[in-house]
Amino acid sequence: METEAQAGWDFFDSVDFPADGTDDPLGRAPVRHVVTAIVVGHDGAAWLPRLNEALWALERRPDSLIAVDTGSTDETAELLASLPGVEPVVSLSARTGFGTAVARGLDAVGFAAIPSAVGPYGSDENTPVREWIWLLHDDCAPAPKALERLLLAATINPEIGIWGPKLRLWPRDRELLEVGVSTSLGGRRDTGIEPGELDQGQHDKMRDVLAVSSAGMLVSREVWEGLAGFDPRLPMFRDDIDFGWRAAKAGVRVAVAPESVVYHAQAAATGERPLAGTRRHAYQLDRAHAYYTVLANAPGKLLPLLIVRFLLGTIFRSVWFLIGKAPSGAVDEWTALLGTLLAGGWTKARKDRRKLDRQPHDSHKQLFARSITAIRHIVEDTGSSITERLREAWADEPEEQTVTTARRARTSTRVAVDQPRWRRQLIRRPFLIGWIFLVVGAVLSARSVLGSGVLRSDVMPPPHDTLGDLWHAAATAPPGVTPPAWLGQFAAWAFVSFGSPSLATDLMVLGAVPLAGLTAWSFLRKIVLDRMARAWGATAYGLSVFAGGAVSQGRLGTCVAAVVLPLLGMAIHTVTRRRRVALQGSWRAAWFAGACMAVLLAFTPSLGLLAVVGAGVGGLLARGWSRQSRQLLFSSVLALLLVLPWTIELLLHPSRIGQEAGGSPTAAIGPGDSIGRLLTGIPEGAPVPWFLGIPLVLVALLSMLRATRSKFELLGWAVALTGLVGTLAASRLGGGSGPLMFLMTAGWIGVITVTWDSLGRSAELIVRGVLTVVLLSSVVTAGWWIVRGDDGPLRREPAQDLPAYLVSAQQPPLNRSIVVATKQPDSGIEFTLVRNGGPRMGAVEAEAPARQSQSITEVLAALGGGGAGDEAQRLAELDIDYVYLVPPLDPGLVSTIDSVPGLNRSSANEGAAAWAVEVRADGKSPMREVTHDIWRILGIVGWLLALVFCLPTARRSVAGTHARRVA
């Protein structure tokens, strides 16, 4: 080969030149190595110039270089011909696989001739000679001492027949790709390298492995010919693992020499160039070859279990691809599995390899990846894939990030480099401090409502005992009554919360402040650049959930709405913002917006209706039939469909629009309340004084004095005024104005945050003074929150205020029914029918109509009027077992019930009274419940579809590779 390079060696750095030394430290007999290098290229013009440099830079060059071109359509053939000392290029068709190309190249050119002159390992012509084949890809680049270190390892360990280098990421990154490779019996390629792991010498230990990559593999001629080279049925992918597995079965050791470094681009695996000679996707080809490799080499006794394992894995991955809106990935999965099993090539391969099976599987079993390791990698890869795709799905486009340099300079935070890292992070991320405060404050403020029992309040019934009970309540109701839509959605949240409805309630109510602050920060970071303004806005938004009384009063609907509203804002912003290019993510955001509006319709119908109408009107008024207008209308229609039949219920009974999830409408503001409480959004009974909200309103009004206003500031005003008008209308009509008041407060906070962002770091004294007042008001509110706590109407108590024996009597197998009655001074007797655990969440919305409970009403009215003596028989016919009167007791009513035959006194709590119905009736007509099976199934299907279309599209990548493009 030539001795002078045509290019410089600046491609490599000092780490590619390990210390000199070519002698065996153990003083073994020298060996003369003759190396035949083979480069196989296919459309590799982008990488071959770097390989050319690398070959010139080698300190120990191969004795012969064979180049094979497999039907390239670019300048690959010319670049291969320019490699140093290359033999005439062998041209083959594009359908030729890597192993076949190597075999054809050796047949056409032959092995390097054994020179008569003695090399650097001795001067005796009788020194033993060992011939090697060095395999190279057109997208790899060996370091200057790569071949020398491989040969040194072969000299020290002559019993090893296959050597592999340490692979790093192309072009000369410190990131590791492989230091040997293995596979699990499930077919998962395992490199033992964490994604993004840098080479710091942690794997620099010579060791036996199952296989080494074909990029830089050094294999002795004897082993190559004994194993008949690579399997021609594996044109690419897994051919190296199959070769190493066959070598292990034949008793040939495979090892890695970490001091030898080769850089590899993995162009085919990462999709940087199309596959040669096939239309199959790289993922499908890799999966098919993985199945073939395992089936052709695994012990026969394991084949039935392995096929079952392949089938289960294919089902799991297919579902993953369907959820990720990549049905072609599911098709690839089944095509790879069924095609491999039915083609039968692996059965012939097993017959051909029987003569090579000299070692049992147990002798090299330790070289395979453990199943638990494969499962851990699958879980890690799945989690990182979800995180990465979600981050990409909701990331701002580059054009949205483009702002003036002066603006960025005004809003950037400079920190001295000598500060500790944690302090620099806190200074640069002020919301991190605010959110940590919200989390700690949420824990401290909940101190009085922690302990045994469940959360409940005057407007929030106790949660269900189990997830099954919650789901039953979401799907059943008395005839003619529609079960509330929010129960099904809350059941999904409870399922995520370890299947506990009580824990789900605690997290949503007690954690509403930090959760709302977090979602508000996610929204504000898309429209607000200033870090301090963004941090204050998110923190103030979270505190407003407490200030408005949503937490202390147990208003579950408002707590959920506070968390969901910023998410809806994010989705609408993604849909409506102007784009320079068409983006795929806008329809995903439209699905997400529809899902958010559906949640609002279920938990707070008033807010949900405003959102649906606003999006629909915005879509109709948009200029032209643009994609944004279609997406807004689609979101509105989707929201109405996802909560069916609750949408029909709201149309038939408009009074329910003012309800919140869990209870009756909460009129936060009444006609007699002051204008101050109305504007500040702090009603009577709120945990903080109403005057703490005055700074928000005043600063928002002062912002109107500015000459210019941004569109987001005007949007904040629109939200605030909508909440104000809605609050006035709801309070005058007797509906629930609590969620609408919160919407108004969110609008004030949005106006101030956007104004703060527009002013930047103004030096004007009046601006600083106004912002200081706002900050002090927020600090005082936060202190009030922590000192006062979340208690009030919200409390933690047993789920039922009944004696223990009555609570247990409702459970199977007794299934007793109890009428809990209260004597009102002027409105007769009010009652609640308690069974199956008593009235729980959703009981108010799913209460039976008056006509269905008319029989019980008539019996109680008769008792209140003195009784007729047959009330016990009538109660027994209605399948009622107990009558329980809660305090204050009416002596006359108690005396009447005591005198009724068949009603016998039972024990009760202090101040209450209870009677057991001792009469038994042959024919009973209990109040029935209807299961809404069709709506339940349609609802599940609809939400699953919405979830699938909200999620990012799944990616297919070849296992064990770093799917990264390098410029």
Q: Each residue of 861-884: pLDDT tens digit?
A: 888 777 777 888 888 888 888 888
Of residues 674 and 684, more confidence is placed in 684
Residue 53 tokens read as 């440099």
Query: 166-194 in b/e burial notation, b at 16+ Cβ within 10 A?
Result: bbbbbebeeebbbbbbbbbbbbbbbbbbe
Side-chain-facing half-sphere of 760: CA atoms under 13 Å: 10
pLDDT band at 420 (very low <50, low <70, confident <90, very high): low
pLDDT confidence of residue 2: 40
Q: Crossing angle of helices 738-759/531-547, nearest 10°?
A: 160
If one compares 748 and 31, the residue with the highest pLDDT of the two is: 748
Nearest of 117, 116, 150 to residue 136 by alpha carbon: 150
What is the percent of the chain where pLDDT is above 90? Answer: 32
As a whole number, mean pLDDT of residues 570-577 equals: 87
Question: Which of these, 679, 592, 677, lies nearest to 638 by C-alpha position?
Answer: 592
Say how far residue 670 (Cα) sits from the centre of its chain. 43
**Rounded distance, CA 437 to CA 424, Å?**
18
Provide, for the chain, the percentages of residues in helix, strand and coil under a 3-state DSSP scheme, each rounded to the nearest 5.
50, 10, 40
User: Is 298's pLDDT higher than 70?
Assistant: yes
pLDDT at 329: 83
- Residue 29, pLDDT > 80, answer no
Specify the range with the lowest mean pLDDT, choosing from 142-146, 498-502, 674-678, 958-962. Answer: 958-962
Q: Are strands 140-142 and 253-264 parallel, antiparallel or unpaired?
A: antiparallel
Cβ atoms of residues 65 and 87 within 8 Å = yes
Report the pLDDT averaged over residues 716-741: 81
- Percent of the chain whose predicted confidence (pLDDT) is above 70: 83
CA–CA separation, 76 and 42 (whole Å): 7
Local structure of 105: helix, strand or coil: helix
**Residue 667 exposed, middle or buried by CB count within 10 Å (0-12, 13-18, 19+):** buried
The answer to whether 641 and 685 have CB atoms below 8 angstroms apart is: no
Burial class (CB in 10 A: 0-12, 13-18, 19+), 698: middle
Higher pLDDT, 278 or 855: 855
- Is residue 405 pLDDT above 60, yes or no? no
Give the least confident one: 185-199, 410-424, 944-958. 410-424
Which one-letter amino acid corresponds to residue 703? S
pLDDT value of residue 863 = 83
Statement: residue 278 has pLDDT above 90: no
Q: Which residue has the higher pLDDT, 631 or 14?
A: 631
Question: What angle in degrees, to the nearest 10, is found between the helix axes of 738-759 and 711-733?
Answer: 160
C-beta separation of 748 from 537 below 8 A: no
pLDDT of residue 399 exceeding 80, the answer is no
Q: Which of 6-10, 60-64, 353-357, 580-584 has the highest mean pLDDT?
A: 60-64
DSSP conformation letters of 532-601: HHHHHHHHHHHHHHHHTTTTTTT-HHHHHHHHHHHHHHHHHHHHHS--SS--THHHHHHHHHHHHHHHHH
Q: How confident is the model at residue 45 (pLDDT cuts 50, 70, 90)?
A: very high
pLDDT, tens digit (0-9, with 9 covering 90-100), for 215-274: 999 999 999 999 999 999 998 889 999 999 999 999 999 999 999 999 999 888 887 887
Q: How many residues does the chain have?
A: 967
pLDDT for res 832: 79
Calpha distance 906→882 (Å, rounded): 9
CB of 131 within 8 A of CB of 924? no
pLDDT in the model for residue 560: 94
Quote the CA–CA distance of 815 and 798 in Å, as a whole number: 19
pLDDT at 512: 93
pLDDT at 396 over 60: no
Say if residue 707's pLDDT is above 70.
no
Q: Which residue has the higher pLDDT, 541 or 471?
A: 541
Statement: residue 453 has pLDDT above 80: yes
Q: Supply the pLDDT for residue 380.
A: 66
**Longest alpha-carbon distance in the chain:** 127
pLDDT for the residue numbered 386: 61
pLDDT at 287 over 70: yes
> Strand, helix or coil at 639?
helix
pLDDT at 22: 46
pLDDT of residue 954: 66
**How is residue 954 written in tokens?**
């799944």
DSSP string, 430-467: HHHHHHHHHHHHHHHHTGGG-SSSEEE-SSSPPPPSSH
Please say if the pLDDT value at position 124 is more than 90: no
Q: In this model, does residue 649 exceed pLDDT 80?
A: yes
pLDDT value at 672 more than 70 = no
Confidence of residue 762 (pLDDT cuts 50, 70, 90): low
Contact 828, 856 (CB under 8 A): no
Query: What is the model's pLDDT at position 163?
Result: 96
Other CB atoms within 10 A of residue 318 CB: 18
pLDDT of residue 148: 92
Rg (CA), the chain: 37
User: What φ, ψ does residue 868 adopt, rounded to 5°?
Assistant: -115, -5
Selection from 476-485, 545-554, 834-843, 919-928 with the highest mean pLDDT: 545-554
**In the predicted structure, residue 572 carries a pLDDT above the cut 80:** yes
405-421 average pLDDT score: 48
Question: What pLDDT is recorded for position 426?
Answer: 58
Neighbours of 202 (CB within 10 A): 12
Neighbours of 357 (CB within 10 A): 15
Quick one: average pLDDT of 78-84? Answer: 93
Q: How many whole angstroms separate alpha carbon 88 and alpha carbon 151?
A: 26
Mean confidence (pLDDT) of the chain = 81
In terms of pTM, does the model score above 0.75? no
DSSP reduced 3-state for 899 = coil
Confidence bin at 964 (pLDDT 50/70/90): very low
**What span, in angstroms and rounded, lies between the C-alpha atoms of 965 and 390?**
20
- Cβ-contact 150, 163 below 8 angstroms: yes
The DSSP output letter for 179 is S
Q: Do the bridges between strand 64-70 and strand 32-41 make them parallel or antiparallel, or are there none, so unpaired?
A: parallel
Confidence check: pLDDT of 590 > 80: yes
Average pLDDT over residues 324-345: 86
Q: What is the 3-state secondary structure (H, E, C) of 243-298?
A: HHHHHHHCCCEEEEEEEEEEEECCCCCCCCCCCCCCCCCHHHHHHHHHHHHHHHHC
Res. 637 pLDDT band, cuts 50 70 90: very high
pLDDT in tens, 10-24: 445 444 544 444 455
Q: Is the sign of the CA dihedral 390, 391, 392, 396 positive or negative? A: positive
Q: How far is CA 548 from CA 608, 661, 693, in A?
A: 19, 17, 10
Q: Which region among 420-424, 725-729, 766-770, 832-836 has the lowest average model confidence (pLDDT)?
A: 420-424
Give the residue, 270 or 350, on which the prediction is more confident: 350
Q: How far is CA 1 from CA 56, 58, 68, 865, in A?
A: 10, 11, 18, 117
Cis before 671 (ω within 30): no
Task: Tell me what pLDDT residue 947 has.
Answer: 82
pLDDT of residue 317: 86
